[in-house]
């Protein structure tokens, strides 16, 4: 039995604190809003287990002296690590025991204590980076912002750059590390300087998801992000158009006639989906909500539920499946629109080659793990 909103069930929520002075704080007197906010940040019990069993070699401590998996609550001046546990089983008792052990384990470790200078880049997801690197011409990383280069950032980068070699991504010039906790966003790409250099992209990865997710999901996400990069690069679209764009338009972008995304649009979205999706977004107020509706209405049109979010995600998810599925799996897939979207990429020799190369690298990476 779990409940985020029921006030009575508050006792099920364990407020775990570490690293800060713990003042006596009568939280029961605070407003309901306060609890709603806290509960939004609460981890599921499984997520809690993933963190406490992740065996960090080093733990960062932020400028409020919170461990990296905690958040700082300015209202109480505490670092908070909040877990949803079920009192009817022994979960809550186990949380107490496991977390005490975990803190003891951390005390015996050397921490990287660092005041992060968090800067804002106006990313798509609006998430601040913790560490940022410039990718130089030899595909090596130069630290721009954040802590020293640590092992985890390097191994994430090593795996990505092995999976997707630099020859495939000339416009990717920055790499960042962030976290929004376990799950939610695993990685994203964004333009770093939308005004001056709209064609320069960065990739950001959530290090907590890197440690807690299985590798298969992690690699799949990297392939998805890569699909955004190559389909949104300079050769594909005009980032600021001031004319009547007769091809696919997304925000300020006008895609060129023979761009991958415009061809994908012509084939799969133009006739019925585009307008239907547009109206759903107007009606429901978000692409996420519209995606659920769209997927419900046209389940066989999309390779995943997430693909129905918008055409850019549809393209990225379809490309991801194109790379991940074997020839046999593709041939044996039902003859529906979602499979046609996967086969669409075979129209381009360079994408066929890309698929072979990435599949080959993926196999090598899986052998190494």
Min. distance of Cβ 225 from Zn ion in angstroms?
7
Q: Name the residue nearer to Zn ion (CB basis): 69 or 219.
A: 219
Question: With respect to Zn ion, which residue has the nearer C-beta, 198 or 291?
Answer: 291
Nearest residue (CB) to Zn ion, 164 versus 316: 316
Name the residue with the smallest CB distance to Zn ion. Answer: 316
* CB within 8 Å of 278: residues ≥ 6 apart: none
Q: How far is the CB of 253 from Zn ion (least distance, A)?
A: 15
Strands 141-145 and 78-84 come out as unpaired
159 vs 313, which CB is nearer to Zn ion? Answer: 313
Q: Give residues with Cβ within 8 angstroms of 74, minimum separation 6.
A: none
Nearest-10 crossing angle of helices 215-231, 349-368:
150
Nearest distance from residue 220's CB to Zn ion, in Å? Answer: 12
Query: Can you tell me which of 85, 203, 316, 342 binds Zn ion, judged by CB under 5 A?
Result: 316
The burial class, CB within 10 Å (0-12 / 13-18 / 19+), for 298 is middle
Q: Residue 61, interface with Zn ion (CB under 5 A)?
A: no
DSSP secondary structure letter of residue 181: S
**Stretch of residues binding Zn ion (CB under 5 A), selected from 74-82, 248-256, 316-324, 356-364:** 316-324
* CB 311, CB 250: distance < 8 Å: yes
Beta-carbon neighbour count of residue 90 at 10 Å? 11
Residue 123 C-beta: closest distance to Zn ion, Å: 12
User: Do 150 and 134 contact (CB within 8 A), yes or no?
Assistant: no
Site string for Zn ion, 262-301 (x = CB under 5 A): ----------------------------------------
b/e map of 117-127 (b: 16 or more CB within 10 Å)? eeeebebeeeb
Q: How far is the CB of 128 from Zn ion (least distance, A)?
A: 19
Closer CB to Zn ion, 316 or 358, in the complex: 316
Nearer to Zn ion, 51 or 187 (CB): 187
Largest CA distance in the chain: 66
> Would you give the DSSP letter of residue 221?
H
Interacting residues with Zn ion between 296 and 315 (CB under 5 A) = 313
Interface residues with Zn ion (CB under 5 A) are 313, 316
């Amino acid at each position: 039995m779990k409940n985020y909103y029921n006030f009575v069930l508050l006792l099920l929520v364990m407020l775990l604190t570490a690293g800060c002075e713990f003042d006596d704080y009568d939280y029961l007197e605070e407003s309901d809003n306060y609890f709603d906010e806290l509960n939004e940040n609460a981890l599921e019990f499984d997520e809690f287990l993933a963190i406490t069993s992740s065996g960090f070699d080093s733990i960062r401590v932020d400028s409020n002296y919170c461990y990296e998996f905690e958040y700082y609550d300015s209202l109480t001046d505490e670092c908070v690590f909040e877990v949803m546990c079920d009192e009817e089983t022994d979960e809550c008792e186990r949380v107490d025991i496991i977390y005490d052990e975990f803190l003891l384990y951390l005390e015996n470790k050397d921490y990287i204590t660092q005041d992060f200078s968090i800067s804002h880049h106006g990313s798509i997801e609006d998430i601040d980076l913790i560490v940022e690197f410039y990718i130089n011409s030899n595909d090596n990383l130069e630290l721009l912002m954040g802590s020293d280069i640590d092992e985890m950032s390097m191994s994430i980068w090593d795996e990505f750059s092995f999976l997707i070699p630099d020859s495939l991504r000339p416009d990717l010039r920055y790499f960042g590390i962030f976290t929004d906790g376990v799950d939610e966003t695993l990685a994203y790409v964004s333009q770093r300087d939308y005004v001056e250099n709209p064609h320069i992209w960065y990739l950001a990865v959530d290090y907590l998801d890197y440690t807690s997710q299985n590798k298969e999901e992690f690699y799949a996400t990297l392939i998805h992000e890569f699909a955004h990069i190559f389909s949104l690069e300079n050769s594909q679209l005009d980032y600021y158009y001031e004319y009547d764009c007769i091809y696919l338009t997304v925000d300020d972008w006008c895609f060129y006639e023979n761009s991958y995304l415009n061809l994908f649009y012509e084939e799969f979205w133009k006739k019925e989906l585009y307008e239907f999706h547009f109206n759903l977004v107007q009606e429901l107020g978000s692409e996420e909500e519209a995606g659920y509706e769209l997927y419900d209405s046209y389940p066989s049109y999309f390779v995943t539920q997430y693909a129905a979010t918008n055409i850019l995600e549809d393209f990225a998810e379809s490309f991801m499946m194109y790379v991940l599925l074997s020839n046999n799996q593709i041939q044996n897939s039902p003859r529906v629109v979602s499979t046609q979207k996967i086969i669409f990429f075979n129209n381009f020799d360079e994408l066929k080659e890309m698929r072979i190369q990435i599949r080959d690298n993926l196999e090598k990476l899986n052998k190494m793990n």
